[in-house]
Structure 1
């Protein structure tokens, strides 16, 4: 049985941990509130832009775009988004696992034909563990994404695709559904699926100048550029939600452990007092 001093020391240690996890939960909750506001403010704009594009694509007649060209995949780019720090449950581990599965799905390609763009310190580390060199340093974007930086990355990917340097681009990230639920997502970024876009909206009559094809070819890059920014805001909200839940669970576990240790402390103390009383009674009987 542990001594009173040992149990008391463990209680003090867990109490210190409890204070840390409680503080981290409050910080994560505040960051979640801001991140959730950012993604909720951005989503209506992105949906409206997608709705306009869907309206054009739903109209009669086909529209050609260099970003809609489907071809045999000989070179692929994977954009994976994680956080820069840990203590957020399985948030980063799930992205790393999905990245591993995605790489494995392209087993027929040579490793030099799989380009990985990791956004976040944790997924950059996972990329190196997989034996790949990251295609740039995007750690800053994981914590505080800006439209300028994300649009630059989107432009780089679009240029590589248009120049036939890559044949497909995939995105891997955690989608923020609610504080308690983050959905691990893998989706195709390029080529853009015009048939899927057609299914998103109803045909809408527009008065277009100079012509529909010019407008669509201008709109598609804007939609693609906005997509990366929205994904990062989405992942950012999911990260803070995961950390809030993880710190809440850690706090609850600490409280439960303190209660168990307090019971153990009281039982040990009671046992010591009982033993001392028995020793005193035994000593008095012996003297009589």
Structure 2
């Protein structure tokens, strides 16, 4: 059996763990509210710009010319594909990062693409630490998660520029999608080139009078749409991260309370055993004195 002093010391250490996990849980809740508000704002903006772009793209005359547009055709002679992986900078967020890493390994086990055809860019330190060991990196210096909307738009503009120059044939986004409040799934979404297969709207019969020209309007709208899409996925990944960390800290707090409860029971048992032992020693001492008399 353990010493009561040792058990008491463990109880005090568990209490400090509970304070830490509860504080981290509250921080995650505050950050989650902020990221949800930002995500909602970006979604509203993206929905509007997407509806304008789709109305323009799915007209008969514009749809015929969209395939010739530089944003709709694959580029790059080497067929190099860029994968942008959204991870966290810190741990203690459950399976948020490990599920992405398993997806990447499973993706190459199927041999859909070879290692030489793919390059990775990590947004988050955990992803950079994992990818540097085994895969080719587009940028060895990892991009942290403390990004503003302006920095994300700058990153999106750089990716679009590299694609148009033919550095990459296609660009994919890999991130955690928060399907429900407690359920996440890994999504691999094509960022460039744009495909019209996923568009659900019917072809519009309306003929729009466009000024200055269809090409110039598309070249103005499409980068806005792509930057908004990248921004939305970034905040969606951040929302999933804070949700995972909040759930992990909540479970850690519950487990710590269970351990504390068990330790208190053991401490009371040990204390009771010690008191009983001392009483028996006193009684046996008194009996021996009485016998001598």
Alignment TM-score, normalising by the size of structure 1: 0.89
Q: Find the structure with the greater CA-based Rg.
A: 2
Q: CA RMSD in A?
A: 2.3
Give the superposition deviation at 1:41: 1.2
Alpha carbons 1:68, 1:192 under 8 Å: kept:
yes
Give the superposition deviation at 1:279: 2.2
Give the superposition deviation at 1:54: 1.8
Give the superposition deviation at 1:174: 1.4
Aligned to 1:5: 5
Give the superposition deviation at 1:201: 6.8
Following the alignment from structure 1 to structure 2, what is the Cα–Cα distance between the partners of residues 75 and 283?
88
Pick the aligned partner of 1:280 from 267, 279, 282. 282
Does the alignment pair 1:135 with 2:136? no
SS at the partner of 1:83?
A: coil
Following the alignment from structure 1 to structure 2, what is the Cα–Cα distance between the partners of residues 100 and 161?
25
Give the superposition deviation at 1:58: 2.3
Does the alignment pair 1:119 with 2:100? no
Aligned to 2:254: 252
Give the superposition deviation at 1:232: 1.1
Give the superposition deviation at 1:172: 0.7
Give the superposition deviation at 1:284: 2.4
Give the superposition deviation at 1:179: 4.0
Aligned to 2:29: 29
Aligned to 1:267: 269
Does the alignment pair 1:92 with 2:97? yes
Q: Cα–Cα, structure 1 residues 78 and 30, in superposed 2: closer, same or farther, change >3 Å?
A: same
SS at the partner of 2:177?
A: strand
What are the within-5 Å matches in structure 2 for residues 70-109 of structure 1?
Answer: 70=74, 74-104=79-109, 109=114
Does the alignment pair 1:66 with 2:67? no
How many residue pairs get aligned? The number is 284
What are the within-5 Å matches in structure 2 for residues 41-56 of structure 1?
Answer: 41-56=41-56
Aligned to 1:209: 211
Q: Unpaired runs of 5+ in structure 2? A: none
Alignment TM-score, normalising by the size of structure 2: 0.88
Aligned to 1:166: 168
Alpha carbons 1:145, 1:232 under 8 Å: kept:
no
Following the alignment from structure 1 to structure 2, what is the Cα–Cα distance between the partners of residues 129 and 95?
15
Following the alignment from structure 2 to structure 1, what is the Cα–Cα distance between the partners of residues 266 and 92?
29
